Amino acid sequence: MLKEAWMLAIETLSWMEMQKLSERLALAKTIKQLRISDSNAIKLAHRLVIETVRRRNFIDKFINNALKPNAISEFNLGVQAFLRLYVYQTRITKNWSKIDIKEAKNIAKLARSILGWKSLQKVERVLGLLLTQKPALIFRDVSDEERVGLLTFHPTWFVRYCFKIFGRKGALAMLEANMQTQQTYVRLNTLKAEENEIVERLFEDGIKVERVKQLKHTYTVVSTRQPLTKTKSFREGLFYIQDKASCFTAEAADPKPEMTLLDVCAAPGAKTTYLAQLMQNRGVIYSLDYSRRRMAVWKNDVARMDAKIAVPIIADACNPLPLEMEADVVVLDPPCTSTGAFRKLPSAKWRLTRRSVDKMAEIQWKMINNCAGKVKCGGALIYSTCSVTVEENEMLIERFLKWHPEFSLVEITPKMGLSGLRGLEECQRLYPHIHQCNGFFIAKLSKK
């Protein structure tokens, strides 16, 4: 089992580096490639990958200090992956204090059997140093922003950005919260059964939940005996694993039965299925997304959750939408930098640069403009992202209001977050350190 787990972890990290894949996609690709079915090996590999990637900048600086005058980037992807996993397992899981030489030798032996002794020959000399080197060495001659980035596992540019937008105290609280384990939420599906009945069914499946007071059907998962996706109640569509910030978007849209809705960037289906639930499966929801792969997942989830009023449309919202209609509500949750979801998607931190924010904002600008014409008079446009940057949120809404005077911001209910920045008090923001969920922004615009 241990060898299979390390094979999976090394290959997954290699795919992530080579093709810039997310943790989930890279692991799924590797499982299929290596034909590994041992659930314990997969579970261990997933933990190794997630926790190693989360600390990527710290681990790389620690390794490069030991490799001097060489650098980790000079070696092939398999060796790079092994060195990172080696540091995580032998040092970080031991809180940098305890040294387990036997374990380190066994891991090195595993790596030789997976990668070949020739591949590891050039780095064998540093394995002992990595086992004994003090982590404090990497903080020599670094700036304040870089030091904070290393301690909280964030890129220096992002630390600098957060200091500027949120102030040092607020930024540190948010950055430190990103180091903690992501809270799991589920949304109960009242299209399948009454809420009380579903809670009882979950309990029978070994899932204990607590109600999120501000929202209608959202619960915190307190404990579970097995993975949620392996339970009978999940297969039967009694619940959807969905962050409470995402549930908030659907409730802010305030959909009613018999309405016509347009859900843009709809896959994999969290919003569509909740909107259908709030509409009691009466009316119609046009769900649009450009990705055929993601829409295949959407199709499965819509069927599992019994959302009968959803109509799939494959199209790119960066172009004029291929629909001759106007909707009562248009919900746009565009691609974003995911800077509010670093706890859940740690690899996103290392794919981004400061320029990524501006590039993404331009994509979002095209999408929101294309959505504007699909809102009927008296209707509403909901805009949301799981990003904390102002360029993707408040600044984009300010720009939109100048170009579209027929729209105006309106108050959002429920009032669950803090007011938007730059004086946009009608908008709401959620933060990981305050609201125990993804960092999130939402604006509701009414068309006169």
Burial annotation 84-96 (CB, 10 A radius, 16+ → b, else e): bbbbbbbbbeeee
Rounded to 10 deg, the angle between the 77-87 and 39-54 helix axes is 90
Helix (H) or strand (E) holding 220, with range, is: strand 218-224
Q: Three-class SS of residue 199?
A: helix
Cis peptide leading into residue 405 (ω within 30°): no
Task: Measure CA 435 to chain center.
Answer: 16
Residue 423, phi-psi category: left (phi > 0), alpha (psi -120 to 50), beta (remainder): left
SS3 of 228-246: the string is HHHCHHHHCCCEEECCHHH
Token pair for 70: 């060489």
Q: Three-class SS of residue 146?
A: helix
Helix (H) or strand (E) holding 428, with range, is: strand 428-430
The 10 Å Cβ neighbour count of residue 131 is 19
The angle subtended at Cα 430 by Cα 332 and Cα 426, nearest 5°, is 65
Helix (H) or strand (E) holding 311, with range, is: strand 310-314
Say how far apart CA 385 and CA 40 lie, in whole Å: 35
Say how far apart CA 345 and CA 4 lie, in whole Å: 24
Count of all residues that appear for the chain in the document? 448
Residues marked as catalytic: 386
